[in-house]
A and B are shown apart, each in its own frame.
Chain A
Amino acid sequence: MLNTAEQLDALGRQTLQTRLMPDVLEQLAAKSHLMVFDIGFGVNETIAFFGNRKCRLHFSALHESLRAPPVVKSKTPFGQLANQSEQEAALYQAWLERFQSAMQFAPGTQLDLCLFWDFLNYLDDQALKAFADALAPYTGPQTLAHAYILLKPEADVLNREYGVKAADLITVKPAQYGSLAFYARPQARVTSMMKGFSVKHSVLRRDGLLEAALKSA
Chain B
Amino acid sequence: MFDRNKDRQPEKIDPPAPSAPAMDNASTAYRTPAAATGKSAVLGATIRVKGEISGDENLLIEGQVEGSVSLSAHELTIGKTGKVHANITARTIRIDGEVHGDIAGKEKVVVSSTSNIKGTIVTPKMTLEEGARFKGTIDIDPAHANSGGTGFKPAADKPA
Interface centre among A51, A60, A103, A104 (most CB of B within 10 A): A51
Indicate if the CB atoms of B135 and A61 lie closer than 8 Å: yes
A51, B143: Cα distance in complex, Å = 11
Q: Which residue of A lies closest to B122 (CB)?
A: A56
Are A42 and B134 in touch, CB under 8 angstroms? yes
Q: A52 near B: Cβ within 8 Å? A: yes
Q: Which residues of B contact A41 (CB under 8 A)?
A: 133-135
A57 touches B132 (CB 8 A): no
Q: How large is the interface on A (under 10, 10 to 19, 20 to 34, 35 or more residues)?
A: 20 to 34
Q: Which residues of B contact A56 (CB under 8 A)?
A: 137-140, 155
Verify B160–A51 contact, CB threshold 8 A. no
Q: Is A58 an interface residue (CB 8 A)?
A: yes
Q: How far is the CA of A41 from the CA of B134 in the complex (A)?
A: 5
Q: Are A44 and B127 in contact (CB under 8 A)?
A: yes
1/0 per position for A32-51, CB-CB distance to B under 8 A? Answer: 00000100011110011011
In contact, A43 and B128 (Cβ under 8 angstroms): yes
- Picked from B137, B142, B156, the residue with its CB within 8 Å of the CB of A51 is B142
- What are the residues of chain A within 8 A of B56 when measuring CB–CB? none
A41 vs B159: C-alpha distance when bound (angstroms): 12
Bound together, the chains give a CA A51 to CA B138 distance in angstroms of 10
Chain B, interface SS category? loop
Q: In the bound complex, do residue B156 and residue A106 qualify as a contact, i.e. CB atoms below 8 Å apart? A: yes
B158 at the A interface (CB under 8 A): yes
Most buried by B among A50, A56, A103, A105: A56
B142→A53 contact, CB < 8 A: yes
Task: Say yes or no for A109: interface residue by CB 8 A criterion.
Answer: yes
**B142–A58 CB distance below 8 A:** no
Choose from B127, B143, B158, B160 the contact partner of A47 (Cβ within 8 Å): B127
Per-residue CB contact flags for chain A residues 68-109 toward chain B (1 = under 8 Å, else 0) read 000000000000000000000000000000000011111001
What band does the interface of chain B fall in when counting residues whose beta carbon is under 8 Å from A?
20 to 34
- Do A109 and B157 form a contact, CB below 8 Å, given A41-B134, A43-B133, A47-B126? yes
Min CB gap B154→A, angstroms: 12
For residue A59, CB closer than 8 A to chain B, the reply is yes
Cα A60 to Cα B134 in complex, Å, equals 9
Select which of A42, A44, A103 is within 8 A of B138 by beta carbon. A42
* In the complex, chain B residues whose CB is within 8 Å of the CB of A161: 133
Residue B136, interface by CB 8 Å: yes
A103 contacts B160, C-beta separation under 8 Å: yes
Known: A54-B142, A54-B143. A44 touches B130 (CB 8 A): yes
Residue of chain B at shortest CB distance from A61: B135
B141 on interface, CB distance cutoff 8 Å: yes
16 contacts between A and B (CB under 8 A): A41-B133, A41-B134, A41-B135, A42-B135, A43-B133, A47-B128, A48-B127, A54-B140, A54-B142, A56-B137, A56-B138, A61-B135, A102-B160, A104-B159, A106-B155, A106-B156
Given contacts A51-B125, A56-B139, A103-B160, 11 further A-B contacts (CB under 8 A): A41-B135, A42-B128, A44-B127, A47-B126, A53-B140, A58-B159, A59-B135, A104-B158, A104-B160, A106-B156, A106-B157
